[in-house]
Amino acid sequence: MSTVVPPKSPESDPRVKAVFDDIRATRQSDFINNIWRYLAFDADLLERTWDEVKAVMATPSDLDPLTKELLYLSVSIINNCNYCVHSHTAGAKAKGMSQTQHAEVLKIVALASKTNQLATALQVPTDPEFLLEEG
Amino acid sequence: MSTVVPPKSPESDPRVKAVFDDIRATRQSDFINNIWRYLAFDADLLERTWDEVKAVMATPSDLDPLTKELLYLSVSIINNCNYCVHSHTAGAKAKGMSQTQHAEVLKIVALASKTNQLATALQVPTDPEFLLEEG
Amino acid sequence: MSTVVPPKSPESDPRVKAVFDDIRATRQSDFINNIWRYLAFDADLLERTWDEVKAVMATPSDLDPLTKELLYLSVSIINNCNYCVHSHTAGAKAKGMSQTQHAEVLKIVALASKTNQLATALQVPTDPEFLLEEG
Amino acid sequence: MSTVVPPKSPESDPRVKAVFDDIRATRQSDFINNIWRYLAFDADLLERTWDEVKAVMATPSDLDPLTKELLYLSVSIINNCNYCVHSHTAGAKAKGMSQTQHAEVLKIVALASKTNQLATALQVPTDPEFLLEEG
Amino acid sequence: MSTVVPPKSPESDPRVKAVFDDIRATRQSDFINNIWRYLAFDADLLERTWDEVKAVMATPSDLDPLTKELLYLSVSIINNCNYCVHSHTAGAKAKGMSQTQHAEVLKIVALASKTNQLATALQVPTDPEFLLEEG
Amino acid sequence: MSTVVPPKSPESDPRVKAVFDDIRATRQSDFINNIWRYLAFDADLLERTWDEVKAVMATPSDLDPLTKELLYLSVSIINNCNYCVHSHTAGAKAKGMSQTQHAEVLKIVALASKTNQLATALQVPTDPEFLLEEG
């Protein structure tokens, strides 16, 4: 099904175990979803990916957790990653996305794709008003 | 520069004038940016596009205006629409996006693209935990 | 399987029923395909989407119905939407696409993708001959 | 501007000259647009690309020339190839695309992109009715 | 499952048989994978596609076979072609890709996608140092 | 031109200076190209991006430097990042890519895009032969 064989006992590798432990501690959940189990085929790739996901998504910042998850979901839809659409829709629901908000995200993603294509098809020149003064 | 010649006096067409008037009233600004001036080459396309943008983006809803603009911007980046990246970055700044939030949006978009490609490259199977009970 | 639970009795919602009735009347068929059943999780999204599909695709216009369906199919292939590739291939066959025409569409889509990538890789400048006089 | 330096006197290479001669003869025009002048940096790539474009686009077939050009244009929009959007919009106009048809193509491309994203976001399962009997 | 019915006895068509024979001879293997079985629904499309794959991928050239396969795989990931990700991962392994190299390809593809999005989001201007002198 | 104003004296920020110093040392060149100058608008984003680029691209590994650069270039073409196509074509030439190899990379990228679209259009099922035994 996948292009790699995920390790059968991933946590026998101490580097993998450390990442899985940190995922569990950070998310306060025992559930390790498949992307991490498959990335474990290469401990370095796993470590670096989790390090970045934790820093960007699981650290308090100037955007609230639900907004961040909705941005992640929107990118995943446009990049057409089926796994990611499933995992980040579930993630957004877990962070409080209501059904109305879900529908609204879909409306924005669909509308943006539509107007993106119109602007590309028309080759609309950028308004001088959008350009910044060099600092 | 564009693939259509935008009408020289677009508001001489009453349908176009009605849309432009509504854009100005909705945004409380005299500025009509280029996408609308070029869409005016076909009044029906202009009307329908503005109607949808107004309904989705300019109507109070369950997502705040800045979040909606950030979602629009993120989709525009992934769809690689240069015009839209400029216009929606400007739009997000106008709605209060700070420089730190701008950097954060970029980090999320870049990280999501990265993990989207990893999940696709690995062909990770969807966790049963993400699947919904049929209602 | 999906990221939303489609309503079990969608037509108990009068807004959904009105859309489904119009789909059946417009297409002169009792078959409501899944995209509509799933969009029914949000009546507003369903109404707006069908309204646009009907206006663009099911209204007589300056392009014949098969050409329109082939354009829809080609976009769906490039956007890599599996559902849409299936539904619009079926739609094109229903509108008369022969097996030879199907192969021809595939040749054009594949060739265009190929030369699109070549032009991007080479960063070919646009010929002045393609640029329009401003009106 | 480009990533290769197009040859200054491309037709001093007899393989390039033969392709350019065939382009002129096929199109009954002296105009050789930039994509061919840049592809001429590698005669084999030029020959193979023109051979395929001629076979698919310039040979009478079961789709009329305008329909083929509109399919090419639609793919080019979604692949976001600026050069190709310009050249194939010009090509479609040369083959008779009216301003109304141009607007209609844009409506279809934009709508298809929109519903493609909705189907991906919802992960709509393919209707069994769309699946084919194995032959 | 597919959008065409692959021919039941493809090699009863001599043009298909000739292509299949050449695939077997070129690859020194009896295995004909599905893409060829499905492309066989149109002999001309099959012939032209195999001709190009053979010329580009199965002919000794200035890039070694593994590098070529890794490039093909990387493009297939970004284009999000599930079939192609599977077939070209298998192809790269058959040409000697180690597990470490596999992880490394994934790191490069993921990193490139990330910085591609950053450059697009920032609309970074091209350095004059990258531009070529016209020849 | 860009969506951020790059800092006028970026190296007055010690975090930025440290990254720029490391770029110069790693590349043994005084040239700092624009992507780094623009990323400097947010020191954290700059640091993290360079850290990853250095680890993946500038550290000896199981793939040679030219192969890695060609993979980066191919992804950048498909992601349609104009800046990146320019910078990584220049990078590949600096690492020894000949004109013939450049043409060959383009042929592979173009061919892969073509067959990717064919496989998607046909919805070709994955051969069981490509699937892995679970470990």
Identify the pLDDT of residue A131. 86
For all residues of chain A together, what is the average pLDDT? 96
Q: Residue A63: in which H helix or E strand, if any?
A: none
Chain A residues in contact with C3 by the CB 8 A cut-off are 85-86, 89, 102
**C53-90, pLDDT tens digit by residue?**
999 999 999 999 999 999 999 999 999 999 999 999 99
**Cα C1 off chain centre by:** 22
Mean pLDDT of D53-71: 97
Two tokens at B37? 């001036």
Residue C134 CA to residue B35 CA, distance in Å, equals 16
Two tokens at C91? 């739609």
> Would you give the DSSP letter of residue B41?
T
> Would you give the DSSP letter of residue B62?
S
Mean pLDDT of F119-135: 87
**Cα F113 off chain centre by:** 19
CATH fold of C62-122 reads AhpD-like (1.20.1290)
Residue C37 CA to residue C31 CA, distance in Å, equals 11
Q: Kindly identify which residue of chain F lies nearest to residue D47, measuring between CA atoms.
A: F107
pLDDT over 70 (residue B134):
no
At residue F15, what is the residue type? R
CA distance E27 to chain F (A): 15
Residue C86 CA to residue D131 CA, distance in Å, equals 8
Identify the pLDDT of residue A135. 46
Identify the pLDDT of residue F126. 96
CA torsion sign, F26 to F30 to F33 to F35?
A: positive
Two tokens at C81? 């939407």
Number of residue pairs across E and F with CB atoms under 8 Å?
211
C-alpha pair distances (Å), D26 with each of C99, D9, D91: 27, 22, 14
Confidence of residue F54 (pLDDT cuts 50, 70, 90): very high
Two tokens at D24? 């002129």
Residue A93 CA to residue A66 CA, distance in Å, equals 9
Cβ distance F105 to E33 less than 8 Å, yes or no, reads: no
Residue D90 CA to residue D94 CA, distance in Å, equals 6
For all residues of chain F together, what is the average pLDDT? 96
In the three-class reduction of DSSP (H, G, I as helix; E, B as strand; rest coil), residue A72 is classed as helix
Number of residue pairs across A and F with CB atoms under 8 Å?
33
Cβ distance F45 to B107 less than 8 Å, yes or no, reads: yes
Interface check F11 vs B, CB under 8 A:
no
pLDDT over 70 (residue C135):
no
Own/partner pairs, C10-18, CB within 8 angstroms, 24+ separation: C10/C37, C10/C40, C13/C40, C13/C43, C15/C43, C15/C44, C15/C46, C15/C47, C16/C40, C16/C43, C16/C46
> Where do the domains of chain D lie?
1-59, 62-122
Using CB atoms, which residue from F85, F86, F99 is nearest to D41? F99
Residue D23 CA to residue E102 CA, distance in Å, equals 43
**B18-73, pLDDT tens digit by residue?**
999 999 999 999 999 999 999 999 999 999 999 999 999 999 999 999 999 999 99
Identify the pLDDT of residue B1. 78
At residue A23, what is the residue type? I
For all residues of chain E together, what is the average pLDDT? 96
pLDDT over 80 (residue B135):
no
Closest listed residue to residue B88, CA positions, set B50, B127, B33, B49: B33
**A46-57, pLDDT tens digit by residue?**
999 999 999 999
Mean pLDDT of D69-95: 98
Identify the pLDDT of residue E1. 79
Angle between helices B82-94 and E99-122 (to 10 degrees): 60
pLDDT over 70 (residue E2):
yes
Residue A7 CA to residue A13 CA, distance in Å, equals 10
Domain F8-59: state its class: mainly alpha
CB D44 within 8 A of CB F103: yes
Interface check B95 vs A, CB under 8 A:
no
User: One fold for both A11-59 and A61-123?
Assistant: yes
Identify the pLDDT of residue A134. 54
Name the superfamily (CATH) of residues A11-59: AhpD-like (1.20.1290.10)
Interface check F45 vs B, CB under 8 A:
yes
pLDDT over 60 (residue F66):
yes
CB A73 within 8 A of CB A89: yes
C-alpha pair distances (Å), F83 with each of B69, D1, E69, F6: 25, 11, 25, 16
Cβ distance A135 to F6 less than 8 Å, yes or no, reads: yes
Q: Work out the burial of residue D9: count CB atoms within 10 Å of its CB; fewer than 13 is exposed, 13-18 middle, 19 or more buried.
A: exposed
Interface check B48 vs A, CB under 8 A:
no
Mean pLDDT of D88-96: 97
Residue A20 CA to residue D51 CA, distance in Å, equals 54
Neighbour-count burial for B39-77, b at 16+ CB within 10 Å, e otherwise? bbbbbebbbbbbebbeebbeeebebebbbbbbbbbbbbb
Identify the pLDDT of residue E135. 46
Cβ distance A4 to E85 less than 8 Å, yes or no, reads: no
Interface check B2 vs D, CB under 8 A:
no
CB atoms within 10 A of CB D8: 8
Q: Kindly identify which residue of chain A lies nearest to residue E80, measuring between CA atoms.
A: A80
Domain B10-59: state its class: mainly alpha
Q: Work out the burial of residue D22: count CB atoms within 10 Å of its CB; fewer than 13 is exposed, 13-18 middle, 19 or more buried.
A: middle
Identify the pLDDT of residue C133. 64
Interface check E108 vs B, CB under 8 A:
no
Chain B residues in contact with D100 by the CB 8 A cut-off are 42
Name the superfamily (CATH) of residues E62-121: AhpD-like (1.20.1290.10)
Cβ distance D86 to B3 less than 8 Å, yes or no, reads: yes
Identify the pLDDT of residue E132. 82
**C105-134, pLDDT tens digit by residue?**
999 999 999 999 999 999 999 999 998 865
Residues 52-71 of A with CB under 8 A from B: 52-53, 56-57, 61-63, 67-68, 70-71
Identify the pLDDT of residue D47. 98
Q: Kindly identify which residue of chain F lies nearest to residue D38, measuring between CA atoms.
A: F103
Q: In percent, how much of chain D has pLDDT > 90?
A: 96
CATH fold of A61-123 reads AhpD-like (1.20.1290)
Mean pLDDT of A87-111: 98
CB D37 within 8 A of CB D28: no
Using CB atoms, which residue from B42, B79, B81 is nearest to D103? B42
Interface check B124 vs E, CB under 8 A:
no
Cβ distance D35 to C84 less than 8 Å, yes or no, reads: no
CB E19 within 8 A of CB E47: yes
**C4-20, pLDDT tens digit by residue?**
999 999 999 999 999 99
Mean pLDDT of C93-113: 98
Mutation to test the F interface, candidates D39, D42, D77, most F Cβ within 10 Å? D42
Residue count of chain B: 135
> Would you give the DSSP letter of residue A29?
S
Angle between helices E65-78 and E99-122 (to 10 degrees): 50
CA distance B42 to chain D (A): 6
Identify the pLDDT of residue F135. 46
**Cα E121 off chain centre by:** 29
**C25-35, pLDDT tens digit by residue?**
999 999 999 99
Interface check B24 vs E, CB under 8 A:
no
CA distance C131 to chain E (A): 22
Name the superfamily (CATH) of residues E1-59: AhpD-like (1.20.1290.10)
Interface check F104 vs A, CB under 8 A:
no
Chain F residues in contact with B86 by the CB 8 A cut-off are 3
Q: In percent, how much of chain F has pLDDT > 90?
A: 96
C-alpha pair distances (Å), E91 with each of E27, E36, E47, E82, E101: 11, 15, 21, 14, 14
Cβ distance F71 to E127 less than 8 Å, yes or no, reads: no
DSSP letter string over E58-84?
SS--SS-HHHHHHHHHHHHHHTT-HHH
| ipTM of predicted complex | 0.96
Interface check D123 vs A, CB under 8 A:
yes
Cβ distance B132 to C7 less than 8 Å, yes or no, reads: no
**D18-38, pLDDT tens digit by residue?**
999 999 999 999 999 999 999
Neighbour-count burial for C6-25, b at 16+ CB within 10 Å, e otherwise? bbeebeeeeebeebbeebee
Interface check C114 vs F, CB under 8 A:
yes
Q: Kindly identify which residue of chain B lies nearest to residue D91, measuring between CA atoms.
A: B3
> Would you give the DSSP letter of residue E129?
G
**Cα E8 off chain centre by:** 26
C-alpha pair distances (Å), C40 with each of C8, C11, C16, C20, C50: 10, 9, 6, 9, 11
Chain A residues in contact with C4 by the CB 8 A cut-off are 99, 102
Identify the pLDDT of residue D133. 64
CB B109 within 8 A of CB A71: yes
Residue E81 CA to residue C80 CA, distance in Å, equals 8
Identify the pLDDT of residue F132. 82
Interface check A3 vs B, CB under 8 A:
yes
Residue C90 CA to residue A31 CA, distance in Å, equals 40
Q: Residue D75: in which H helix or E strand, if any?
A: helix D65-78
Two tokens at F107? 């042929």
CA distance A45 to chain E (A): 7
Residue D107 CA to residue C72 CA, distance in Å, equals 10
Cβ distance C5 to B131 less than 8 Å, yes or no, reads: no
Q: Work out the burial of residue C95: count CB atoms within 10 Å of its CB; fewer than 13 is exposed, 13-18 middle, 19 or more buried.
A: middle
**E3-45, pLDDT tens digit by residue?**
999 999 999 999 999 999 999 999 999 999 999 999 999 999 9
CB atoms within 10 A of CB B114: 25
Interface check B85 vs F, CB under 8 A:
yes
Neighbour-count burial for C44-83, b at 16+ CB within 10 Å, e otherwise? ebbbbbbebbeebbeeebebebbbbbbbbbbbbbbbbbbb
Mutation to test the F interface, candidates A41, A47, A48, A123, most F Cβ within 10 Å? A48
